[in-house]
């Protein structure tokens, strides 16, 4: 995979992550929701 394709994929994943954060309702967010977000961040970090 070229660097440009890799960057585009990372941008897409980061955008997805930010959308998930924006959609969270603090009163209805569970520990599992936070765990999923952390997993997403770890996957982003691994791809860098």
| pLDDT at residue 40, as a whole number | 85
Q: Which SS3 state, helix, strand or coil, does residue 48 take?
A: coil
Query: Which domain covers residue 34, as residue numbers?
Result: 3-47
What is the tens place of the pLDDT at every residue in 1-48? 788 888 898 889 889 889 989 999 989 999 998 999 899 889 888 877
pTM of structure: 0.68
Cite the DSSP H helix spans in the chain.
Answer: 3-23, 31-47
Distance between CA atoms of residues 16 and 44, nearest Å:
11
- State how many domains the chain has: 1
| pLDDT at residue 27, as a whole number | 92
User: Phi first, then psi: what are they for 29, rounded to 5°?
Assistant: -90, 130
Tokens 């860098």 identify what position? 48
């Amino acid at each position: 995979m070229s660097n440009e394709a890799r960057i585009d994929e990372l941008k897409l994943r980061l955008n997805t992550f930010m959308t998930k954060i924006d959609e969270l309702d603090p009163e209805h967010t569970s520990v599992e929701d936070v765990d999923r977000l952390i997993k997403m961040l770890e996957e982003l970090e691994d791809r860098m």
